[in-house]
Amino acid sequence: MLYAVIGTFLGALAMVCLYCSWRGASKAWLTAAGWLLTLLSLWSWILASGAEFGVTLTLLVVPLIAWLIILFNADVRQQRPQNQNQGALVAPRMQTLLYHCWLFVLAVPLAGAAAVFTTTAFTLALPVAKVNAVITAVILIPIVWGLASYWVCAARKPHHPAIWLLALTGGCAGLIYL
């Protein structure tokens, strides 16, 4: 229990150091001290409840402390009512709507299918037990899906990533099912 209290205290001190360095203290040692105290907080939480729960509790408690620091330092002012011009609602052009619908299809279902098939084929090829391969795939699929979606959305011409994603999906599906 003492290590948990020490971990919470070190996490709070770390967030205060990082908050002060962020708010303009511009001391390099504050940033370094904040991150060092975060690591010490992690170590204390690991001693308190083991590696699995210690890392989890650090990742829960330290951001919660940061949110509390930000909440208590929030600058809340009374808003003045502003006259807003109530203009007419302008609908986007049909070409823009179709482009974004196409981009959605590429970024969500196609990138998702590519992530599932690619990750599954990759993990099944690893020299590990099937259970470990499935667990690795479950962990990696959202990451690969996000990267593929980002690639589609960031490309100037989205049909280039779409061709690659289709090829990856087809090739990996062939490796899995054939």
104, 126 Cβ separation under 8 angstroms:
no
- The residues near 102 (Cβ < 8 Å, ≥ 6 apart) are 158
Domain residue spans of the chain: 2-72, 94-177
pLDDT in tens, 34-93: 999 999 999 999 999 999 899 999 999 999 998 998 888 877 777 777 776 777 778 899
pLDDT in tens, 103-156: 999 999 999 999 999 999 999 999 999 999 999 999 999 999 999 999 999 999
pLDDT in tens, 9-40: 999 999 999 888 888 766 788 899 999 999 99
pTM exceeding 0.85? no
